[in-house]
């Protein structure tokens, strides 16, 4: 099959890869450049574990043609931390116990980052809406929503922050 050269920026670094016609971005990330942070779940855009940002917009990498990413910026969960310093969302996910098996986590983080980048102080409903395309089997979503609300509050937004649901 003919290969097409594609150049794009991944987490701020230039990448150049040869892709097959019709090859999806997820495959290029995982097999082409070795970024395993976006997960392969359903492969048809219904689970959200492959969520990455393309020019800042959340996209499902399994449904994104790699060729369409030429010249664009792709951000994955691998690029969230600044060296040893975690991104505020990653810290909040840890503090709120928002991961159990962890398979949905990188997709959740990217969906959350896309939200907070365009809305610094979302309501609880807006957070739920932003992650409604991401399936989590373990947490019941509540710790994830709490973590995103907390990350927003600590980044200076968060005027709409409400109490978490669970009380122990």
Partner 1 sequence: MARHRGRGMAAINYPIGMNLGGDPSQALVHSNPEGKFTVTLSAIDLGQGMKQVTRQIAAETLGVPIADVYVDTADSDTGPHDMGSFASRGTHRVGNAVAAAAKEARGVMMEAAAEELEVNAADLDTDGRGNIHVKGAPSRAISVKDVAVAAQFRQGKTIAGRGIFLIPLSEVNPETGEMSPVSCYAHACLVADLEVDDETGEVTVLKMTSAYELGRAINPKMVEQQLVGGAWMGMSHALFETPEPYYPDTAHGPRDFNEYVMPGPGDICPHDIAVLERPAPDGPFGGKGPGEMCANPVLPAVANAIFNAVGVRVDSLPITPEKVLRAIKAQGGARPQGAPGGRR
Which residues would be at the binding site for partner 1 (CB under 8 A)? 42, 44, 46-47, 97, 99-102, 125, 127-129, 131-132, 135, 137-145, 165-168
CB of 124 closer than 8 Å to CB of 145: yes
Closest to partner 1 by CB, 10 vs 62, is: 62
In the complex, what is the shortest distance from the CB of residue 103 to partner 1, in angstroms, rounded to a whole number?
A: 8
Burial readout 71-101 (b: 16 or more C-beta within 10 A, e: otherwise): eeebbbbbbbeeeeeebbbbbbbeebebbee
- HSE at residue 78, side-chain half, CA atoms within 13 A, is 16
- Minimum distance, C-beta of residue 4 to partner 1, in the bound complex (Å): 29
- Minimal CA–CA distance to 159: which of 124, 113, 114, 109? 124
Closer CB to partner 1, residue 8 or residue 93? Answer: 93
Segment (H or E) for 127: helix 124-130
Residue carrying structure tokens 């907070």:
116
Report the nearest approach of partner 1 to the CB of residue 88 (Å): 20
Residue 18 or 97 with smaller CB distance to partner 1? 97
Of the pair 8, 146, the CB lying nearest partner 1 is at 146
């Amino acid at each position: 099959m003919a290969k097409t050269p594609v150049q794009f920026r991944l987490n701020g670094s230039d990448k150049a890869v040869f892709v097959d016609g019709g090859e999806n971005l997820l495959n290029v990330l995982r097999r082409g450049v070795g970024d395993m942070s976006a997960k392969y779940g359903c492969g048809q855009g219904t689970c959200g574990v492959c969520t990455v940002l393309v020019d800042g917009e959340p996209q499902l990498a399994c449904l994104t043609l790699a060729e369409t990413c030429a010249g664009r910026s792709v951000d994955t969960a691998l690029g969230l931390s600044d060296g040893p310093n975690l991104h505020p969302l990653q810290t909040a996910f840890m503090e709120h116990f928002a991961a159990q098996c962890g398979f949905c986590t990188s997709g959740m983080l990217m969906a959350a980052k896309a939200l907070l980048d365009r809305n610094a102080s979302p309501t609880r409903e807006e957070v739920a809406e932003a992650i409604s395309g991401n399936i989590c089997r373990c947490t019941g979503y509540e710790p994830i929503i709490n973590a995103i609300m907390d990350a927003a509050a600590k980044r200076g937004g968060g005027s709409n922050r409400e109490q978490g649901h669970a009380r122990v």
